[in-house]
Each structure stands twice: as structure tokens, then as C-alpha cells.
């Protein structure tokens, strides 16, 4: 045990047997013993792991009772996210578990996987944990990178985990998800990279980012999501109000070079601002299905295999404002539009957008396609000059509930 200059006590895991030369089992036990010592020592809240590469086997458990403030504030701290390296020897384990704990955190640590993971996660947060800060960390080659997991989709109960902050981090090469949020709220992600090789189908198989059931009040800012099977997916066990991902905000994000792009299913009330959706090789940059009230502002849909953004018949109240649809349909020349509303789409708006084939290699059939039987839409003040099939292909016709006006192209 040592004393910092600020007066708070720091527990050094090396004093409890953690060593780069020790076995995975020994290091796991040593770090858990150091955490237990921090909990039992008045004024101690930090467990420090010095620089070095430490094999671990099993789970480092930061647990407690969120109602008991005496267990708040446990911080697992390394010397830097390339300097302190924890290498998991199990291919199915959770490496760091936050279980029913408040005010805890992790920083300055690299979490790696020694083999090919088939289950588990680098970091898992469960059981009404809250006020968790994860900063300056790197995760590589796990099954799931960060899993924030709540079990109950009951809208009459408090969501399982709240107030989770992830900042300045990288998640690389994770098989199922980089970050997954299930039945949890108030998660803030900022300044991050989630990466795989371009169009790599064996990584991010369910999405670099996955929001499931009651994933609500999720904010993502300043992120780069690269490669893999899916950039981002949303899903719910049933399309029922208050049981689905909703009321989430995504700003200044790049979604680039995945196989199937961003697929938003069974969700509502998302705002995308200043985002880039590009080079999905075998799908639209964004696919909307069973969604409501999705809004895209100043977003770019570039060079995707199919449409830039495609809205199915089961989605409504989509609004695109000041967006740009450029050179999409690269996998099927002339087969898709930059922005595509399939037949039967309802209650959508396309306002002040731009679309043409003057950038990149794709050749979209039109800037905007509106399918048969679509209704209750406004398309106005757009510049769609420069597409081979015309600016707008409107198969729905016009009427007082189908407003198409003041467009170029």
C-alpha cells in the first residue's frame, strides 16, 4: 500500500503477487485480492497495476452493493493502455466484471486475448451498476469488447445499468460486438475507434455497436467505426413501445467499409448529426426496418454497394435534412438510388439535400427513389443534378399528401 500526494490510498497489485512472470491464475487472484484490500481499507479507492504484460485466467471482479457508498469508487488503473497489458488465457471468460457497483472505473489498461475467443467479454457491466467511468483503454480480439448487460425489458422497472461513460478508447478485432448495450440507459461514448479489416465478415458479426431492447439515452460522439460485418445494429425481442432501443443521439461519427453497413431494426427516436455512411460492400449504407422517427441531419451517404440509405415499408417518420447522397450503387451499377424509400413508405421528408454521381465510383440510378403506394411525404429544396437516371424517380405519384416541389434535377 502506498499513499499518493492527494492523500488517497493506492493499493499496488504487485504487493499482492501480481507479476509479469506469474501465472494467469496467480495474477487473477492477486488483482482480486488487491481489490478486496481496497474495499476494506478506509480511504483506499485505487488499485494500481504497474507496467508490464500480465497473463490472467478468469475474471477480475469489481463488485459491491450500489446502495452501499462504502463500496463506491473502486478504480482499476494501469500505467497506460499500451504499458499495462492484461492478456486473457481463457477463450470464454469475462476479464473485468463490474457487478452491482457504483462509482467505479478502469483506465490506462490494455485488455488482450491470447486465443480465438468463443464467448465472454473484455469488460462486462451488470446488476444495477452505475456511474462507471472507463477511460483510456484498448481492447483487442475478444468475443465482445464492452458488454453493458441488463436482463429485464420491463418498462415498469428501473433499467439495470445507468450512467456509464466510455472515453478515449479503442476496440479492435472483436468477433461479435465491439460495444453492446442491452437494457441499459444513459451510456456516453466519446473519442473512440472500433476497427476491423475492411469488409471483414468474421469480425463485428452482430455489429461493432449493438443496441438491444431497452437501450435508451445512448450518446455517441466523435467515433470512427471501421470494417467488419456490420457497423451498427439495433434490435429488440419484440417491436413494443418502451421495450426497444429509443431516444439515442449519434454525432460526428464515421461508419465506413463494413459488409452490411448500419442496420436499424425495431427502434425509434434516433438522431444522427454530421455522420458519414460509406462503402458498405453488399448493402445500403443505412437500412431502416421497423423503425419510427429516425432523423438524419447533415449526413453523407457515399459509395455504398446498394443505396446510400434504404427505408423499408415498415418504417415511418424518417427525416433527412441537408444530407448528401453521392455515387452509391457501386455493387449494382444503376440498380439503386442514393436515397431509397421502398413501396408503401409513409410520413417521410427529404429537405435541402444534394445527390449526384460526381464523386467516387458508384453509379446510383437516381438521387431519390420513392416506391409505389408511398404517401404523406414532403420532398423539397433539393439539388439532385448529375445522376444518370434523373434526380427523382417518383413511382408514388403526386397529390395533396405527396408534396414534391422546388427541386433541381
CA 178, 361, 307, 408 dihedral sign is positive
Whole-number pLDDT of residue 376: 96
pLDDT for residue 359: 87
Residues contacting residue 89 through CB under 8 Å, at least 6 positions apart: 24, 55, 56, 57, 114, 115
Average pLDDT value for residue range 134-157: 85
Cα–Cα distance, 171 to 82 (Å, whole number):
13
Least confident residue range of 93-102, 147-156, 287-296 = 147-156
CA distance 18 to 252: 40
Q: In the predicted model, is pLDDT for residue 6 greater than 50?
A: no
Triad 87, 78, 124: Cα angle to 5°: 60
Nearest to 235 by CA among 263, 259, 260: 263
pLDDT band for position 152 (cuts 50, 70, 90): low
Task: Please give the class, per CATH, of domain 2-302.
Answer: mainly beta
State what percent of residues in the chain have pLDDT above 90. Answer: 79
Return the pLDDT at 43: 73
Domain ranges, ordered by start, for the chain = 2-302, 303-409
pLDDT at 67: 53
pLDDT category of residue 336 using cuts at 50, 70 and 90? very high
Amino acid at each position: 500500500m502506498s499513499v499518493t500526494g492527494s492523500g488517497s490510498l493506492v493499493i499496488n497489485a504487485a504487493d499482492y503477487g501480481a507479476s509479469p512472470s506469474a501465472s494467469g491464475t496467480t495474477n487473477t487472484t492477486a488483482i482480486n485480492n488487491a481489490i478486496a484490500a481496497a474495499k476494506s481499507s478506509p480511504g483506499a479507492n485505487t488499485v494500481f497495476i504497474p507496467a508490464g504484460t500480465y497473463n490472467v485466467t478468469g475474471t477480475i471482479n469489481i463488485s459491491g452493493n450500489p446502495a452501499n457508498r462504502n463500496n463506491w469508487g473502486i478504480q482499476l488503473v494501469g500505467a497506460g493502455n499500451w504499458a499495462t497489458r492484461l492478456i486473457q488465457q481463457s477463450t470464454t471468460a469475462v476479464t473485468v466484471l463490474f457487478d452491482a457497483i457504483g462509482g467505479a472505473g478502469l483506465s490506462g489498461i490494455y485488455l488482450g486475448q491470447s486465443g480465438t475467443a468463443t464467448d465472454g467479454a473484455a469488460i462486462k457491466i451488470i446488476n444495477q451498476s452505475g456511474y462507471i467511468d472507463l477511460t483510456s483503454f484498448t481492447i483487442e480480439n475478444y468475443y465482445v469488447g464492452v458488454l453493458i448487460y441488463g436482463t429485464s425489458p420491463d418498462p415498469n422497472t428501473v433499467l439495470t445499468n445507468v450512467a456509464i461513460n466510455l472515453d478515449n478508447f479503442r476496440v479492435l478485432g472483436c468477433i461479435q460486438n465491439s460495444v453492446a448495450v442491452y437494457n441499459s440507459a444513459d451510456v456516453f461514448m466519446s473519442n473512440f475507434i472500433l476497427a476491423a479489416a475492411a469488409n471483414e465478415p468474421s469480425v463485428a458479426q452482430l455489429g461493432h455497436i449493438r443496441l438491444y431492447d431497452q437501450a435508451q439515452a445512448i450518446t455517441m460522439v466523435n467515433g470512427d467505426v471501421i470494417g467488419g460485418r456490420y457497423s451498427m445494429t439495433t434490435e429488440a425481442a419484440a417491436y413494443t413501445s418502451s421495450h426497444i432501443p429509443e431516444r439515442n443521439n449519434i454525432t460526428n461519427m464515421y461508419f465506413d467499409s463494413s459488409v452490411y453497413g448500419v442496420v436499424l431494426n425495431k427502434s425509434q427516436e434516433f438522431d444522427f448529426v454530421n455522420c458519414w455512411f460509406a462503402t458498405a460492400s453488399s448493402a445500403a449504407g443505412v437500412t431502416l426496418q421497423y423503425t419510427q422517427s429516425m432523423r438524419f441531419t447533415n449526413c453523407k451517404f457515399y459509395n455504398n454497394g446498394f443505396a446510400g440509405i434504404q427505408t423499408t415499408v415498415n418504417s415511418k417518420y424518417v427525416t433527412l435534412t441537408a444530407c448528401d447522397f453521392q455515387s452509391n450503387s457501386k455493387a449494382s451499377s444503376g440498380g439503386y438510388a442514393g436515397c431509397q424509400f421502398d413501396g408503401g413508405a409513409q410520413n417521410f421528408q427529404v429537405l435541402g439535400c444534394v445527390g449526384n454521381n460526381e464523386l467516387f465510383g458508384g453509379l446510383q440510378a437516381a438521387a431519390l427513389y420513392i416506391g409505389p403506394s408511398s404517401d404523406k411525404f414532403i420532398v423539397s429544396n433539393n439539388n439532385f443534378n448529375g445522376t444518370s437516371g434523373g434526380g427523382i424517380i417518383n413511382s408514388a405519384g403526386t397529390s395533396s399528401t405527396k408534396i414534391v416541389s422546388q427541386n433541381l434535377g
